[in-house]
Structure 1
Amino acid sequence: GTKAIRTARLRANHFNLSFNPESIIMHYDVDVKPEHPAKNGRPVKISKSELSAIRNKLFSDDPSKFPLLSTAYDGEKNIFSAVPLPTGSFKVEIPEEEGTRFSSYIFTIKLAKELQLRKLKEYLSGQLLDIPRNILQSMDLVMKENPARRMIAVGRNFYPTESDPNDDLGYGVAAFRGFQHSLKLTSQGPTLCLDYSVLAFHKRMLVTEFLQEQIRGFTLNNFKRFRREVEDVLKGLKVTVTHRKTKQTYVIMGLTDKNAGEITFDAVDIDGQSPPRKVRLPDYFRDKYREIQYKNIPCLDLGKNGKRNDTPMEFCVLVEGQRYPKEYLGKEAAIMLKNISLPSPRDRQNMISNMVRSNDGPSGGGIIQNFGFEVNQNMTPVTGRVIVPPELKLGASDGKVIKVTVDGEK
């Protein structure tokens, strides 16, 4: 395996990253709690999406003190900043359309450590023996900040919010071309390693349109015939609503027993001055939002924790970023997804390079530049070797050893 027939010029999906050794990354600890504790006294677990919304609101309220483009947030307990941030506790009021569980939070931030990038330079030059892992972790998070804000995160991978029209797999599903990336230390210094990734997702679309694509022969006029299939394909999917301004998402629990035009509910007077009264769902939507067009089909049951939330299907949109199991794809769609996932080397190189240069990618948005980082937009050239085909020794049935040379063309 040491004899080479010839060498080959290759390009690795590594992009060299330069940094300013004089820079300092400020590491802050973050703690977020509702302003008013829960009635049961138990601690409240706040989701990553809520924490991001709270952070964004605080920073947008006072951008001169909290510059969003100079910070990276892990969505939990850590913020890394290229500039000093105010410390202390801050009240953050969240508008209703953000969909958080509480309207006001206390955001506490305190300085944990100053990370001096000169230590990374000292390690690379051999002056420092231990790898400065906390610096590398902070730099890695900074590299992920821009795609985390602009793209759909699935594990360590990022995917665009919209697919290429040519990547439609049918049945309300499409292939989304994304990437995964990480920061690695090489002999040339820190390097951004980015690779191509493809997943099948439900497309963001109206639920009524999705049903027409997903279920063969489906029509709203003959809904009763397809009710069981509709419930099977929709149950568990996440939707948002269009009749009011909100970013909140809901999980489809099923379908209502009655059609939209037949549903009634008890309207409670918030002030308590009038007794509850029966209200027809169509009247409620017409008076408060807009007319329901399809009254002869069920609503989606979006209720949670025992609370009713019957929402007309026409006002519900599938949320982006919901994976579609590839084993559910038809034969043609599965082949198409496989072909998209395995492009030719030249196409793969072009797509990876475009992702690095993209405004949604790790070096887009101006964030890493604020930290003093710069990514070389070209892949790293390396020299490969084509080695001599190996000679295999095979045992024959009579005990003799046969030498076989592998065909180099195969």
Structure 2
Amino acid sequence: MASLNLTEFVRRPAPGTLGHPVNIRTNFFEIQTLPNTNIYHYDVTITPDVPPIVNRRVYTQLIATHGDSDLGGRPVFDGRKNIFSARAFPFDAKSFDIMLPEDILPKGVVTKHPPRGFKVKIKKAADINLEELRLALNSKAAMSNNCLTAIMALDVLIHHKPAMLYSTVGRSFYTPDGAYELYGGLEVWNGFYQSARPASGRMLINLDVAATAYFQSGPLVDLVVKILDRRSIDDLRRGINDRERNKLEKALRGVQFRVTHRAQLRRSFKIMKLTPTPASHTMFEKENSKTDVATYFQETYGKRLLYPFLPCVVTGRDIFLPMELCSVIQGQRYPKKLNERQTADMIKFTCQPPHVRANKIRDGLKILSYRNNEYLKDFGVSVATEMANIPNKNPPVIYANPQGDIEKSLKEAWFRAGNAVKSQPQLMLCVLPTKGVPLYAEIKRVSDTVIGVATQCIQMSHTRQPKKQYCANVCLKMNVKLGGMNAFLSPDQTPFLTDMPTILFGADVSHPKPGDTTRPSIASLVGSMDSKAARYAATIRVQTARTETIADLGGMVVELLKTFYQTCGQKPSRILFYRDGVSDGQFAEVLRSEVASVKQACVTLDANYKPTISFVVVQKRHHARFFPMRREEGDRTGNCFPGTVVDSGITHPFEFDFFLQSHAGLQGTSRPTHYHVLYDENKFTADKLQDFTYRLCHLFARCTRTVSVVPPAYYAHLVAARARFHSRGENWTDTESSEAGGDESTYLAVKPDLLRVMYFM
């Protein structure tokens, strides 16, 4: 194992040729000219340590005071640690003292810091020669650290100006123009995502629309009314109960606001909690006597409270502010998970047909105005104004064959079931009175970890007037939970599975929601158990939160290889591993850690057991979108046809990756899946891997359509999601999260026999 070279990714084979080629547009724009001279990289340290939004204000003041003398040209800043310049600074290291004035903030920008001094230390890091990047883009050199830094410099360059003008989150920037109101005091802001990406022979900018939720700005009392779902503030004149106060406190904690009774005070405050009593009954010490908040504001500021029945905002020790004197600052992103109603509203707002999305991307191009961007001009960078046209392939049409007499099969199944009445139940059908999570979660916990029997839950409302499609979907799920097969491909269509024993693995890691520090991450692995890739077994591990690599992957692989041997009577000679949930920056670590773990697992079973292994990363969280050039080259929704493959033009300059849009979109603009091969001992050609992956997408067991992600990865995601219900002591009364924490010890194991069937469907 120690001699393995697991540091280099697989090189791209010859492009695929199956299907018929057509041209499509994609939301990538070519960087037509790169800088002809070096880019100069500087490390910057700003003290005291503050968020990027404040760092950018410090940087703006730095340029205003020292730009002409020390920082010539138009250097760009990433908001944290890096400055890139088209010209060398007249020093290698220098410190600057900056006093931050209280100037007018850009629209959508929030800061809680008053004016104060900062020390800025700038130190030269490197000279970046773009020639090395040009060679790598043309497959004449490796993608070195210098190339990656050059790409980062281009990324910072295109983000710099929007980041100085708008509210930014990662690579996206947002504007309140055209905001859409969400339930519960939130609103959706439109925005745009952009990223510099290397491709074969060129650099591209991936530009896409984006949307995220923000708190509605304005009077805090208006926000309170919306969070509590009341018609007006008058509905709260009797006060609020403890449950409502807890709901408000949970929603508002951390929200920043300004006070309205002292207009000259620009300082912002942050909500820490709410008082348990209304303003008229919240008492504090004043000049050796006690007074209530309402009386204090009447006597001190001449403000007679209109809503003394509301609790006060607590911003610090013994600092109480009436809600009606607080105004929520614009530009505060909502950091929590949206509830079901908010999510549904968000989908309605963001779901757009391809032609609408393409037009909005063009609108974003106008807002960004690359041609008139003074920073790009300073670096000598120009960007195309039209979407890139790229070749792609539509799949060949394959016709299916009928598989037998359905009536005869049903009669035989009926008689077999009647003769098996003495056997233990294989499945329990549970009729639920409501859609709520608590009952469903408890049923799944008990059935999976205590009883060890698969369950199928249906809603009472569907039993009164059952629809054929609903019944059909339930039957699909029940069939596979009982060990049946809903669909499979004929052996001649999948020789990779049938000409020698082969196992397909799918793996995923599910993390707790942002901000949750009490729950662990859950790693899941599924493996195919037949030559038809129709039946899968599963295994689960609970591991340290936010750890992306799978800690015990070796043990999980051993477990499923043993199950495969017990099921099929032989060891698999080939392994194809689909790994979900890995970002580009984690490729090297996953290659070193997880591929080695798979190999070690095989050796653990038998020192001479060395199946050929291919390891493919599956990515859905990207911003590539495809748009047909002509209406007849798309489906009825305006999307590209299912089976569309792109393996050139926007893919990696020399590594083995491709985009596959395997599904027919029902609404909106379909998102293709990006497949990146990290390791390949099976020597796949582009055609063979693309075709095989697309065929697998027809076999997702609980629907009769192709799906967007290859089923092994999809199943692994479902297994990890189900495991969230397996923690003892969870309180699922809140659909957004559970009340109790759950460390690794609270998660119960799924019964071994159940892991051999697709209980998670």
Residues 378, 287 of structure 1: alpha-carbon distance in 2 compared, 3 angstrom cutoff: farther
How far apart, CA to CA, are the structure 1 residues paired with 2:204 and 2:396? 31
Q: Secondary structure at the match of 2:123?
A: strand
Residues 169, 378 of structure 1: alpha-carbon distance in 2 compared, 3 angstrom cutoff: same
Question: How many residues are aligned here?
Answer: 381
Matches within 5 A, 1:91-240: 91-95=97-101, 99-100=112-113, 103-124=116-137, 128-131=141-144, 132-160=147-175, 162-165=176-179, 167-214=180-227, 215-220=229-234, 222-226=236-240, 228=242, 229-233=244-248, 234-240=251-257
- Shift of residue 292, structure 1, vs aligned partner: 5.7
Conservation of the 8 A alpha-carbon contact between 2:255 and 2:332: no
Moved over 6 A (4+): 66-69, 276-280, 282-290, 361-364, 401-405, 407-410
The equivalent position to 2:313 in structure 1, one of 293, 301, 304, is 301
How far apart, CA to CA, are the structure 1 residues paired with 2:302 and 2:267? 19
- Shift of residue 175, structure 1, vs aligned partner: 2.5
Matches within 5 A, 1:272-287: none
TM-score normalized by the length of structure 1: 0.76
1:89 partnered with 2:103: no
Report the counterpart of residue 64 of structure 1 in structure 2. Answer: 68
Instruction: Please say which of residues 346-355 and 239-248 is displaced more in the overlay.
Output: 239-248
- Shift of residue 82, structure 1, vs aligned partner: 2.7
The equivalent position to 1:317 in structure 2, one of 309, 316, 328, is 328
Conservation of the 8 A alpha-carbon contact between 2:283 and 2:290: no
Report the counterpart of residue 382 of structure 2 in structure 1. Answer: 374
- Shift of residue 317, structure 1, vs aligned partner: 0.9
| Higher RCO (CA-CA < 8 Å; seq separation 6+) | 1
Over the matched positions of the two proteins, sequence identity in percent amounts to 18
- Shift of residue 190, structure 1, vs aligned partner: 0.5
Residues 126, 334 of structure 1: alpha-carbon distance in 2 compared, 3 angstrom cutoff: closer
Partner amino acid for 1:341? Answer: T
How far apart, CA to CA, are the structure 1 residues paired with 2:240 and 2:169? 32
How far apart, CA to CA, are the structure 1 residues paired with 2:67 and 2:298? 40
Residues 219, 65 of structure 1: alpha-carbon distance in 2 compared, 3 angstrom cutoff: same
Partner amino acid for 1:323? Answer: Y
How far apart, CA to CA, are the structure 2 residues paired with 1:246 and 1:328? 33
1:344 partnered with 2:344: no
1:26 partnered with 2:40: yes
TM-score normalized by the length of structure 2: 0.44
How far apart, CA to CA, are the structure 1 residues paired with 2:379 and 2:265? 35
How far apart, CA to CA, are the structure 2 residues paired with 1:368 and 1:279? 60
- Shift of residue 402, structure 1, vs aligned partner: 7.4
Structure 1: which 5+ residue stretches go unaligned? 35-44, 268-275
The equivalent position to 2:366 in structure 1, one of 357, 363, 366, is 357
Q: Give per-residue Cα distances to partners, 1:204-258, cap 9 Å, x unaligned.
A: 2321122233322342574443354255134314122043443645134223635
Partner amino acid for 1:48? Answer: P
Q: Secondary structure at the match of 1:367?
A: helix
Partner amino acid for 2:333? Answer: Q
Conservation of the 8 A alpha-carbon contact between 1:254 and 1:301: yes
Conservation of the 8 A alpha-carbon contact between 1:23 and 1:118: no
Q: Give per-residue Cα distances to partners, 1:176-210, cap 9 Å, x unaligned.
A: 23233221111241100122333333222321122
Q: Give per-residue Cα distances to partners, 1:278-315, cap 9 Å, x unaligned.
A: 898678768997846536244643424xx333223232
How far apart, CA to CA, are the structure 2 residues paired with 1:245 and 1:284? 19
Q: Which has the higher strand share?
A: 1
Partner amino acid for 2:380? Answer: G
Residues 358, 318 of structure 1: alpha-carbon distance in 2 compared, 3 angstrom cutoff: same
Residues 152, 223 of structure 1: alpha-carbon distance in 2 compared, 3 angstrom cutoff: farther
1:76 partnered with 2:76: no
How far apart, CA to CA, are the structure 2 residues paired with 1:70 and 1:290? 51
1:46 partnered with 2:50: yes
Q: Secondary structure at the match of 1:216?
A: coil
Partner amino acid for 2:319? Answer: N
Partner amino acid for 2:351? Answer: L
- Shift of residue 379, structure 1, vs aligned partner: 0.3
Q: Secondary structure at the match of 1:108?
A: strand
Conservation of the 8 A alpha-carbon contact between 1:23 and 1:116: yes
Partner amino acid for 2:334? Answer: R
Larger Rg: 2
Conservation of the 8 A alpha-carbon contact between 1:177 and 1:198: yes
- Shift of residue 378, structure 1, vs aligned partner: 0.9
Residues 384, 120 of structure 1: alpha-carbon distance in 2 compared, 3 angstrom cutoff: closer
Conservation of the 8 A alpha-carbon contact between 1:240 and 1:249: yes
Partner amino acid for 2:119? Answer: I
What RMSD over aligned residues (CA atoms) do the two structures have, in Å? 4.0
How far apart, CA to CA, are the structure 1 residues paired with 2:114 and 2:60? 16
- Shift of residue 351, structure 1, vs aligned partner: 1.1
How far apart, CA to CA, are the structure 2 residues paired with 1:206 and 1:129? 56
- Shift of residue 347, structure 1, vs aligned partner: 0.7
1:254 partnered with 2:254: no
How far apart, CA to CA, are the structure 1 residues paired with 2:43 and 2:127? 12
Conservation of the 8 A alpha-carbon contact between 1:3 and 1:388: yes
- Shift of residue 392, structure 1, vs aligned partner: 4.7
Conservation of the 8 A alpha-carbon contact between 1:391 and 1:403: no
Report the counterpart of residue 730 of structure 2 in structure 1. Answer: none
Conservation of the 8 A alpha-carbon contact between 1:32 and 1:108: yes
Residues 249, 66 of structure 1: alpha-carbon distance in 2 compared, 3 angstrom cutoff: farther
How far apart, CA to CA, are the structure 2 residues paired with 1:362 and 1:287? 57
Structure 2: which 5+ residue stretches go unaligned? 1-15, 104-110, 413-488, 494-641, 644-663, 665-704, 706-761
